Amino acid sequence: MLATILRGPGDVRCEEIAEPKIQKPTDAIIKLSASCICGSDLWPFRGLQPLDGPMHMGHEYCGVVVEVGSAVKTVKPGQFVVGSFCISDNTCPHCRFGFQSSCEQREFMSGAQAPYARVPLADGTLVATETMPDDDLIPSLLAVSDVLGTGWYAADAARVRPGSTVAVVGDGAVGLMGVLAAKQMGAERIIAMSRHKTRQDLALEYGATDIVSERGDAGVARIRELTKNVGADSVLECVGTNESMHQAINCARPGGSIGFVGVPHGVELSGEFLFSAQKNLLGGPAPVRRFLPHLMELVLTRKINPGKVFDLALPLKDVAEGYRAMDERRAIKTLLRL
Ligand SMILES: [Zn+2]
């Protein structure tokens, strides 16, 4: 089969590799219905994350189970499934507390920008639908696997409640999903920080009530102005740079909460800064498995349309163009047809 391999910075290709096989009794093999490129795939693509060798790309997936190992009990061949980008057993103490992304047996999914993928710990990672979903729901179900689950976690970690004032730092796909999540959680005011017209428009469609195009200190000043000098109750940090992290913390009111889901690159926080800020911080890789059943239900009943975040769809063989389009910010998120 053709699969996506990153060989070095800027060098991503489709190459012929062997189809995945069951390696452990807890594995499942799925035939993907579609795949996509994640904003976090751009870090190694840009050379900002070291490579140990050729990297099998792709960690967002949904599709039909074709084979399961002998120990797998909850999913079976023929079922449509969505899984998290974090592999988990869903039984260890961290999983039971809802932090499946810190599972004692955690692995990160890879190799999903391909027609078939192996999913380890299938019972703890995959959730099956009752029936085969309609084709037009595939992009939204694929989004649940990471980008929506991550935006949702940012809002959950930032303690968004009915009536909250929320600020979202970052207008990438995760930030836009954070806007959608905050709206679903009943936020009254959702301030999206974005300077790009198409992303502002999608943020407004997903429920943003205000747009702030300034960033850094100017962005913080604008949030203060919009909140009568108080700051936001909840801030979603969806970028991962030093500037965006400081911006996010400074946008929250004292006692407010920051959910940070941008993979940090060069973020440095001083003890004095954190001490005097007096705010709640929770972040990390999203425990998407905790949210999967609820988010799949919202998609299957057509209450949300996260799939709209895909503004470019390409055949898998053109995957390199998909990376370039996202790298150059010509596309928010690329869907790969298999
Ligand atoms: Zn676990």
Residues 80 and 228 in one domain: no
Specify the CATH number for the domain of residue 90.
3.90.180.10
Q: Give the distance (Å) from ligand 1 centre to CA of residue 111.
A: 22
Digits of tens for pLDDT over the chain (338 positions)?
Answer: 999 999 999 999 999 999 999 999 999 999 999 999 999 999 999 998 888 899 999 999 999 999 999 999 999 999 999 999 999 999 999 999 999 999 999 999 999 999 999 999 999 999 999 999 999 999 999 999 999 999 999 999 999 999 999 999 999 999 999 999 999 999 999 999 999 999 999 999 999 999 999 999 999 999 999 999 999 999 999 999 999 999 999 999 999 999 999 999 999 999 999 999 999 999 999 999 999 999 999 999 999 999 999 999 999 999 999 999 999 999 999 999 99
- Are residue 172 and residue 309 in the same domain, yes or no? no
Which positions ≥6 away from 212 have C-beta within 8 Å?
A: 167, 191, 192, 193, 194, 219, 222, 223, 226
One domain for residues 106 and 230 = no
Number of domains forming the structure of the chain: 2
CA 228 to ligand 1 centroid distance, Å: 43
326 alpha carbon – ligand 1 mean position (Å): 33
Whether residues 12 and 139 share a domain: the answer is: yes
Using CA atoms, how far residue 306 sits from 10, 33, 176, 301, 316, in Å, is 28, 16, 9, 13, 21
Give the distance (Å) from ligand 1 centre to CA of residue 121.
10
221 and 272 share one domain? yes
Query: What is the CB neighbour count within 10 angstroms for residue 29?
Result: 21
Cα gap 137→134, rounded to integer Å? 6
* Distance between CA atoms of residues 148 and 163, nearest Å: 21
Residues 276 and 296 in one domain: no
Q: In terms of domains, do 15 and 133 share one? A: yes
What CATH number does residue 246 fall under?
3.40.50.720
- Let me know: does 86 contact 37? Beta carbons within 8 Å: no
10 and 132: one domain? yes
Is the same domain home to 290 and 274? no
Q: Does residue 31 sit in helix, strand or coil?
A: strand
Residues with CB under 5 A from ligand 1 (ion): 88-89, 92, 95, 103
251: containing domain: 149-283
Domain shared by 143 and 244, yes or no:
no
How many angstroms separate the alpha carbon of residue 95 from the centre of ligand 1? Answer: 4
Taking Cα atoms as reference points, which of 168, 207, 173, 155 lies closest to residue 308? 173
Whether residues 6 and 140 share a domain: the answer is yes
Burial class (CB in 10 A: 0-12, 13-18, 19+), 131: exposed
Instruction: Give yes or no: residues 250 and 318 share one domain.
Output: no
Helix, strand, coil percent values for the chain (each to nearest 5): 35, 25, 40
- pTM exceeding the 0.85 threshold for the entire prediction: yes
